[in-house]
Every structure is written in C-alpha cells, then in structure tokens.
Amino acid sequence: MVKIYSWNVNGIRAVNKKGLWDPFIKSEQPDYICLQEIKAKEDQVDIDTYDYKMNLYPAEKPGYSGTAILSKEVPINVLKGFPDDLIKKYKVHGDIYGNANQEGRILAAEFSKFWLLSVYTPNAKDDLSRLDLIHNQWNPAILNYVLRLKQSKPVIICGDINVAHTEDDLANPKSNVGKKGFTKEERGGFQAILDNGFLDSFRNFNKGNGFYTWWSHFAKSRERNVGWRIDYVLTSKELESSIKSAEIHPKILGSDHCPVSITLDI
C-alpha cells in the first residue's frame, strides 16, 4: 500500500516551531507528501526530512506561497511551474499582486507509476481581483498541463485548490455564493478537471457535508467545524480501482488547514 498526503502547512517553519512536524511524520508515515504554502526557501527549511527525498519550489517573494514534494521514492523527473508554451498560450502572467509564475505554485514529480503534483491555486481575493487570473489563465493552463502529463502516466493532483466544489463542501454555502472560493468561475474550473478524466477521491468514499479542510481563525470555527473543503487529492480515473481509502485529518494540527490523504494499492 502507498500513502500520499497533502497539507497546506501555512509556513513549514511555523509547523516545525510548534513541534508538530515530527509527530505528523511519525504517526502517519506517508510514502509521499505534497506541501503547499511552505513560505521558505531551500536554505530556510529546518525540518527533519528523515529518509525522504525533498524537492522544493519556493516563491521568489520571501515568506510567501511555495510548494514541495517529499518522497521515499526518488523521482525520475521534477518540473517546476508551467511549461513555457502553456504560459504563452494562456497568457499566464502577473497581475497587481505579482507574477503567478514566480510564486512557486505548481510542482510536478514523475515517479515509476504516476505523476504527482503539489498545487497551490491562487486565492481570488475578497474583492475578486484575482478571479480573472484564475479563470482565464490559471485554470485553462493547469487543465491542459495535467492532460499532457496523463498521456504518459496516471496523474495525482494534490493541493489547496482554493475552491469549494459544491454546496456540500462548505458550511455556509448560501451566504458565500459568488464570493471568493465559491464563484461559478472557480467551481467551473474545478469541474472541468473532473470532466476530463479525473475524480475527486474523497467523494468516492464520503458523501454529504461536514467534511472540511480549512477553518477561519475567527469565532472558534475549527472547534465548531464551520469550514471549507478546499484541499483535494484528484486522480486520473484509471487509478480508481487502486484507491483503497481517501481521508481528511482534522485532528492533525499545525496549520489553519488539515492534511488530506489517499491510500493506493499500486
């Protein structure tokens, strides 16, 4: 069995400083780990990597964004960011917040049996000022990218996609319609991936609401489980029969997000 975990750590140094990195590794013992929002450069990461091979894709801006993949298997190939032709085709460029291609948001590693991606989708912002980037540039580019990778091997997409796909994926859907993380554009981009040969692994095993991966720091939202499911593990449909479980781990602390995972017989 192979265990793959994904976690937006909201600062890998912060998780480690809280003394919560080592307990996570020792209790869960993942074979592969995808991290988002690491907020650190290579020389700033102070965690014990144990016997994992670690690949980082930090943002150029200090203390911001960034992704990582840790694996017991040595990757065959590691790709950072979108290919140049997709950046050009979909005009994935900067906006008032900076260049999306310099934010360390998408890291791909090729392994013997699959491609594994750690993805940190941009936040649309309260005023939706980054929605155009997400809808017209980011989402088309990532769909094209994963379909390209899928031509050679099955693809597993892990990460903070920053969208609640359906009304079951957030505690208060009616009051959030049209707001960041729950616009028709963001939800449509997510659905397009599913429509093109991918599945939301967690929904293969769990239906309904009450399953969340992110909670606001305000009003004891986590204690009351008033949250959003915005962290996912999406897989090529050809892996469906291999997925033995898909879980959310709300009891694992250290970030405003909790880890998500799948177990594969592969």
What are the tens digits of pLDDT across the range 91-101?
A: 998 799 999 99
The residue written with tokens 């769990």 in the block is 206
Say which residues have a Cβ less than 8 Å from residue 242's Cβ, sequence separation at least 6.
264, 265, 266
pLDDT for 105? 98
DSSP label at residue 138: I
Average pLDDT (251-259) is 98
> How far, in Å, CA of 81 to CA of 101, rounded?
7
What are the tens digits of pLDDT across the range 3-28?
A: 999 999 999 999 999 999 999 999 99
The residue written with tokens 């450069």 in the block is 41
> How far, in Å, CA of 14 to CA of 255, rounded?
8
**Domain boundaries, given as residue ranges, for the chain:** 2-264
In the set 5, 120, 145, 212, the catalytic residue is 120
Helix (H) or strand (E) holding 21: helix 21-28
In the set 32, 90, 160, 212, the catalytic residue is 160
What's the token pair of residue 216? 């606001």
Span 2-264: which CATH code?
A: 3.60.10.10
| Chain-centre distance for alpha carbon 223 | 23
Q: What percent of the chain has pLDDT over 90?
A: 98
DSSP label at residue 257: B
Check: CB of residue 240 under 8 Å from CB of residue 198: no
Check: CB of residue 94 under 8 Å from CB of residue 52: no
The residue written with tokens 């590691």 in the block is 78
pLDDT for 94? 79
What are the tens digits of pLDDT across the range 171-209?
A: 999 999 999 999 999 999 999 999 999 999 999 999 999
Quickly list DSSP for 143-170. HHHHHHHHTTS-EEEEEE-----SGGGB
160 given a catalytic annotation: yes
What are the tens digits of pLDDT across the range 87-133?
A: 999 999 879 999 999 999 999 999 999 999 999 999 999 999 999 99
Place 168 in a pLDDT band, splitting at 50, 70 and 90: very high
Strand partners of residue 55: 69
3-state SS assignment for residue 105: coil
3-state SS assignment for residue 11: coil
5 given a catalytic annotation: no
pLDDT for 93? 87
Say which residues have a Cβ less than 8 Å from residue 243's Cβ, sequence separation at least 6.
201, 204, 235, 262, 263, 264
